[in-house]
Amino acid sequence: MDSVVLARALFGSSMAFHIIFATLGVGVPLMIVFAEVMAGVTKNPDYSIMAKRWTKAQAILLGVAIPSGTIVGVMLSLLWPGFMEIVGQVIAVPFQVEIWAFFLEALFMSIYIYAADRLSRKLRIFSVIMVSLGSAASAVLITNVHAWMNTPRGFNMVNGKVTDVNQWAAVFNPSFAVTAIHVVASAFMTGAFCIGSIAAYKLLKKDKTERERAYHRRSLQLALAVGFVCSMATAVNGHYTAQMLHNYLPLKLAAAEGLFETTDYAPLEIFGRTSVEEQRVVNGIKVPWALSFLATDRFDGVVKGLNDFPRELWPPLYVHTLFNVMVIIGTVLIGLSFLGLFILYIRRRPLPKWLLAVLVIGGPLSIIGIETGWVFSCTGRQPYVISGIQFTADAATRSKDIGVLFALFIGLYVLLMFLTIFVMRFYFKRRPVARELTATEGA
């Protein structure tokens, strides 16, 4: 297999594994913040128990996120030397500051875990807010480099050499704001829906006492509220992302929508597959004028098509499917959380079993949405690794031994995933929530 393909496969699989733990590492701390706040406001001990248990889960997740993130960092240098040569000269600042953000997160996580019982409620809330801030800052800073890869700024390339470097122009590139907001909001959403999935699953089990059910109902209600707000924020930000693509990456937008001809009143294509032969999306559902509105805030806005660009610069057209999966999952999660909150707070009824069963898959769906969104963003930039500047083939290593590394790391990731699941199950089985609820009542 070609070394470039192997390099992409190895790095892509490493990122696909790491992004699960990195995303939850951003989303779960926010849920801990809200649990601590609710404990202070309502004086209900259930929220304090939630915060403690979610913190233990966060510590386990960090135990995998840190080494897997280190692996990804090393792979950047080993697999993409041509890319790192430019990055090191132009946009090294986010990587450097990210170390500070990680230190902030680790410091206050240590304080929160080991000194929580000695801190006042306000100091506990402050500590976990710092944890959430540090984790979100790490995500934003790493996302900054990814955004710069899509809309590179802050330097010139003259005869293959980097000149006229302006690192702040690189940092504040045109896609940074919308990309960072999208990543953080979707991470918060994923953390909420994963916790909601566990709570819904527990409520479906028949061996739970009414005391345990009350605890899990509160957990699910909190998860639905946070999940709804964050999924709505992700959707609204998606509108601005479409405008950013229209202004700076029109080819990527055209590929995402399977639009071949430059069009005003352009429709949005849902489902279907992009056919080069027929120059359209086959078996798709058209939403008239919607793409023009998303891209330009006008129904008659002109959206560029694929045929306006050289064929050799087109990304793989299956990005239309990836984009659809991401958007459809986001829409489903908005609908599920809204329906759950409507039943709970407007109709004031318990959630039906069928809805609980659907909510169980909310967490896995949100993770799939994160994965497809990341793959779409990277694949939609191809054949470039730095849009308009450096081709992926020119950035990759020429080593022929990547196949062995690929097999070894895939095996490592499978092992780490099983170990994470095993440790989570082992820890929480030995420390059931019923025991903590009973201890609280007896205190």
Lowest-pLDDT range of 160-169, 292-301, 432-441: 432-441
Residue 68 amino acid letter: S
Supply the pTM of this predicted model.
0.93
Q: Which residues share a beta bridge with 162?
A: 157
d(CA 219, CA 381) in angstroms, rounded, equals 39
R_g (Cα) of the chain, nearest Å = 23
Nearest to 433 by CA among 211, 121, 196: 211
Question: What would the mean pLDDT of 172-185 be, rounded to a whole number?
Answer: 93
The phi-psi region of residue 314 (left if phi > 0; otherwise alpha if psi is between -120 and 50; otherwise beta) is beta
Give the Cα separation of 223 and 100 in Å (integer). Answer: 30
pLDDT (mean) for 152-180: 90
pLDDT tens per residue across span 93-103: 888 888 888 88
For residue 237, the Cα-to-chain-centroid distance in whole angstroms is 14
The average pLDDT across 296-304 equals 91
Calpha distance 318→56 (Å, rounded)? 40
Alpha helices in 80-120 (DSSP H): 81-90, 93-115
Query: Would the pLDDT of 159 be above 90?
Result: no
**Is residue 442 pLDDT above 60, yes or no?**
no
How distant, in Å, are the alpha carbons of 45, 144, 294, 336 from that of 218? Answer: 11, 36, 37, 17
Residue 122: pLDDT band with limits 50, 70, 90: confident
pLDDT at 129 over 60: yes
Q: Greater confidence, 115 or 341? A: 341
Q: Is the peptide bond preceding residue 267 cis, with omega within 30 degrees of 0? A: no
Identify the burial level of 143 via C-beta atoms within 10 angstroms of its C-beta, where 0-12 means exposed, 13-18 middle and 19 or more buried.
buried
| pLDDT confidence of residue 441 | 63
Q: Place 313 in a pLDDT band, splitting at 50, 70 and 90.
A: very high
Chain mean pLDDT for the chain? 89
Q: CA-to-CA distance for 377 and 28, rounded, in angstroms?
A: 24
CA 437 to each of CA 31, 209, 216, 303: distance values in angstroms, whole numbers, following the listed order: 19, 11, 11, 57
State the residue for tokens 């779960």. 28
What pLDDT is attached to residue 3? Answer: 77
Residue 162 — very low, low, confident or very high, per pLDDT cuts 50/70/90?
confident
Question: What are the angstrom distances between the C-alpha of 369 and each of 21, 231, 234, 271, 274?
Answer: 14, 11, 11, 15, 20
From the list 209, 223, 217, the residue with the least C-alpha distance to 434 is 209
Instruction: Specify the pLDDT at position 192.
Output: 95
pLDDT at 400: 75
Closest by alpha carbon to 358, among 198, 225, 200, 222?
Answer: 200
Quick one: pLDDT at residue 1? Answer: 53
Could you give phi then psi for residue 108, rounded to 5 degrees? Answer: -75, -25
| pLDDT mean over 407-428 | 87
User: Is residue 257 scored above 60 in pLDDT?
Assistant: yes
Token pair listed for 112: 């929160």
Q: What is the DSSP string of 273-341?
A: EEETTTTEEET-EEETTHHHHHHHSSTT-EE--GGGS-GGGPPPTTHHHHHHHHHHHHHHHHHHHHHHH
